[in-house]
Structure formats: structure tokens, C-alpha cells
Amino acid sequence: MKTIAVIDIGKTNAKVALVDLDRFEETAVRKTANCVSPDGLYPHFDVERLWRFIAESLAALNAETPVDAISVTTHGATAVLLDANGDLALPLLDYEFTGPDRLSAEYDKVRPPFAETGAARLPMGLNIGAQIYWQERTYPKQFADVATILTYAQYWSYRLSGVLANELTSLGCHTDLWNPYTGDFSTMVDARGWRSLFAPVCRASDLLGGLTAQAAKDTGLPQGLPVFCGIHDSNSSLLPHVLTRPAPFSVVSTGTWVVIMAMGARKVALDEARDTLINVNALGDPVPSARFMGGRAFSTLMQDLPVTASDEAEAVVADRQWMLFPSLPEGSGPFPHAKARWSCDEASLTSSERLAVVSFHLALMTATCLDLIGAQGEIVVEGPFAGNQAYLRMLAAATGRPVLTGSQSATGTSLGAACLADGSRAQVHTTRFSADPPAGYRAYAEAWFAEANRSDRV
């Protein structure tokens, strides 16, 4: 196999990319906004709109370069509830909907402890277990029709192959459903009587089957084309490094969420209250991790302002210690109780100065997460933040460790998903970020850490 079509569905955008395994790079991509529909029972993802986009994109890309296989990667925190006919029994809940919070007190009594699952208690629908519990209790008639529960990437693999499956990385990302230490469902799954609803658990790289006749008709691809199981998007970014890079190292996967995963970490006690968790990588191994909504914060704070900070603006911001303290958005990340505030007059900043302050803030949030999970060794930054020089400089200054940059592509996770077709051909294209942090950056970082930690306790 040479050309892998990757369906890559993030919280903000959905993409279909072609990856050339020989060159291990993307050769074409189509994308669309991943919109949430507000109508119906609750805000939900419009899967039929996404399917039309996927089918049309696969047809167009295959017409340019014949596709040899299909792989899938998606965001987490989404469960798909199917009826006996394989149709949706309930809509796919948008995990930012606050409905599940209405049953928080009830759910907290039945969810398994952090020590069992490594899954922090998160708001809204960020724990899949909380979603399912809320759907079961709020819509008992519809839930009674549920015959199968799938993790999100595997729903799309099912639409393509007709094979029902769940997968380790998707079950192992703060779901409350999985015990990463025993490699089995959590005690809550059995206590709620849900185990029989879950499709068989596979590895991300398992070949599920071939393209069905209906999917072949919809996409114009050959019936029987290989379809791989699929993978959670943050673990997709991690996978090429796991396959090729010796530990210890950490990968910072940036997008709507910034997810930090540490291989070969020193042993530390993870703090459930600060959004640290255990992920499960594509090989089935537990990985200490942390996260915050960095991409969402960046887009909220910067909107359409210029995206390149000048060296002069950075120097002014560092010298005068103009800072943005956490957290935005509130309620998650390493400072969940802190309210965002500026140490300077926000309105007086030039766009370049504002970008420097925001970039420094995001770098220091990342450094905090790295420390919380015991990360050691090189730091590899993937995704859009890999092109942000101010972010990289401050991250290097705050951690004192080598910073490397990987793919800056908005579809960087597609490379890891393509590895599922042939892990032996995985490559890592990283560049050492060689710019030494200027004097004063470390002092800036130390002052930010001190104030951020104080603010979170207030």
C-alpha cells in the first residue's frame, strides 16, 4: 500500500487527506467546518452532513490519486449509540453541551475512581461515561433501543466497512469506561449493565474489513478496499514517535485542545483536579497526559489579528512582563479554578504585542502540564503551534529542555493514522528549534508560574 486516505475529524474542522507512505507526507487535503446542530433533543454533530463530505472528498481525491486503503482519526469524548438496524438511536452529543452537568451529583456516585481509570472528572460531556449516563437517564425510551455503543473513530470505520468495533486509544482517553492498568472495561460499565452494548475492542491498526458495496457506491472507491480500525487524534500524533523515537520524550499535540503526552516520564502522582490523566497509546500502554483548550483560547483571544509576532514586540512584552494569567476557557486545564486576567492594559497592546502575550501564556500553560505529568527529555510540538516562534522560545526557556517541531499542518494527525496501515514505514520529520531564549524569558516564566499558582488557589 502506498496511498492512504485518512478521515480526520477534529472538534472544529473535518478533513480528508491523502498520505503517501513512501514519502510519509500528505499530498492532498480537503476540509470543512465541523458544525454542531442545535436542533433536536440536544446539540449534536451532523453525521449525515459529514458523511456526504467524506464520500465526496474520497471520490475527488481518488480521481486524482488512486487510494489503496482508508484510515480514520477523530476527536475523543464522543460515543455513538446505535439501534439494532445500525442507525443512530440517539444523536451524537456535542461534548461541550452542559446537559450532563445536571446529573453530576448522581453520576459522581457511580463513576469509578481516578485510581482505577486515570480519567479526571471533567465538566459537560467530556467524560463519555457521563454522556451515556445522562442519555440513559434523560431519554430512557430511546436508550432502550440502543443495541451497540461505538467510540467515534470506529463509527466512521463502521460506515465504511460494516464492521462494529471499539478501540483502545478512544476508550482510554478520559472516558471513565476503561481501566488502562488491566486493559479491560471499568467497574462502572459492568455495574450499569453496559458491557454487552459495547462492540468488540480492537487495536487501532487492526484491519476491520473491506469497503462495503454501499460505501463503494457512495465514494466511488472499489468495493473491498481495506479499512483500518482507526485512532483517537492525540494518540495519532503520538504514534509515529512511539514507533521511531527512544524514550524519554513528550509530544505536544496542538489543535482545539493542546494534549501533552509523556513517554518514559518520571513517576509522579497525577492530580485529577488539574486535568491530568492516563491515555492509552496505540500499543495499549498507559501514557501520563495533560491537556488544556489552547487552540480554542488562541482563536478567542486573537480572532483575525496578525499571526506573526515581531522580535521587538516579544522583547517589550518580556521586559515589561506583560502577562495573561489562566484560564481561558475556564473550568479545565491545569488551573481550572482561576479566572483569566491581564497584568497590563489589554486594550493598549498592539496586535503583535498581544500575540506575544498570548503565545507566552500558551507556552507556560504547556510547561505547567509537562511538569505535572513528570515529562522528561525532548519536547516535540506538533500542529499549528509548531509554527509559533514566540511560543517555542518561551517553552524552551520555561522548561530548559530541547524543543523540536514536527508537522505544522492542520491535518498533522493524518500521518499517525496512516501508520496504522504499515507501522514499519513510520517516520518522524522533526527540526530542532535552535533559537536560544533571550535573557529575561526565564524570569518572565518564573514570575508567571508564581502568580498563576497563587491565582488558582484564590
CATH assignment at residue 63: 3.30.420.40
Contacts of 329 (CB under 8 A, 6+ apart): 293, 296, 297, 300
* Predicted local confidence at residue 412, as pLDDT: 66
C-alpha cell at 218: 457512495
The distance of Cα 1 from the centroid of its chain, to the nearest Å, equals: 27
pLDDT of residue 456: 64
Same domain assignment for residues 241 and 362: yes
Same structural domain, 79 and 120: yes
Q: Angle of helix 311-320 relative to helix 351-372, nearest 10 degrees?
A: 60
The last residue of one of the domains, among 229, 253, 283, is 229
Q: Which of 229, 262, 297 is the last residue of a domain?
A: 229
Q: Are both 421 and 274 inside the same structural domain?
A: yes
The pLDDT value recorded for residue 332 is: 81
**Whether 210 and 248 share a structural domain:** no
- Rounded CA-CA distance 158/425 in Å is 26
At what angle are helices 351-372 and 294-302 packed, to 10 degrees? 170
Measured CA distances, 14 to 278, 296, 373, 417 (Å): 26, 16, 30, 14
Q: Do both 164 and 113 map to the same domain? A: yes
The answer on 298 and 190 residing in a single domain is: no
pLDDT digits (tens, 9 = 90+) for 367-424: 999 999 999 999 999 888 999 999 999 999 999 999 999 876 655 689 999 999 999 9
**Nearest to 214, CA basis, from 22, 86, 374, 379:** 86
Find where cell 449493565 sits.
Answer: 193
3-state secondary structure of 179: strand
> Using CA of residue 180, residue 182, residue 184, residue 190, what is the dihedral sign?
negative
Angstrom distance (rounded) from CA 127 to CA 79: 10
C-alpha cell at 140: 430512557
pLDDT of residue 307: 65
Residue 152's Cα: distance from chain center in Å? Answer: 12
Q: Examine the domain organization and report whether 139 and 278 are in the same domain.
A: no
The whole-angstrom separation of Cα 437 and Cα 395 is 9
What is the domain range of residue 185? 3-229
For the chain, list residues with pLDDT below 50. Answer: none
Write down which residue in 195, 229, 263 finishes a domain: 229
Domain count, the chain: 2
Residue 53 to residue 48: CA distance in whole angstroms:
9
pLDDT of residue 158: 98
C-alpha of 187 from chain center: 25
Q: Are 443 and 39 in contact (CB under 8 A)?
A: no
- Structure confidence at residue 330 (pLDDT): 86
Instruction: Tell me which DSSP letter residue 343 carries.
Output: S
> 374 with 417, same domain?
yes
Strands 226-228 and 79-82 turn out to be unpaired
Q: Are residues 47 and 138 in the same domain?
A: yes
User: Distance of alpha carbon 314 from its chain centroid, rounded?
Assistant: 29
Strands 13-20 and 25-33: antiparallel
Beta partners for residue 26, in sequence order: 19
* pLDDT tens for each residue of 92-118: 999 999 999 999 999 999 999 999 999
Where helices occur in 285-386 by DSSP H, the ranges are 294-302, 311-320, 351-372
Q: Are residues 296 and 369 in the same domain?
A: yes
* Dihedral sign from CA coordinates of 35, 38, 44, 47: negative
Residues 299 and 315 in one domain: yes
Contact 267, 316 (CB under 8 A): no
Do 295 and 176 have their domain in common? no
Give the separation between CA 36 and CA 309, rounded to whole angstroms: 33
What are the cell numbers at 201? 475492542
Q: In degrees, to the nearest 5, what angle opens at C-alpha 417 toward C-alphas 185 and 34?
A: 85
Contacts of 8 (CB under 8 A, 6+ apart): 14, 15, 16, 17, 72, 73, 74, 233, 411, 413, 414, 417
DSSP states of 238-278? HHHHHHH-PSSEEEEEESSSEEEEEETPPP----GGGTEEE
Closest CA to 43 of 2, 90, 76: 90
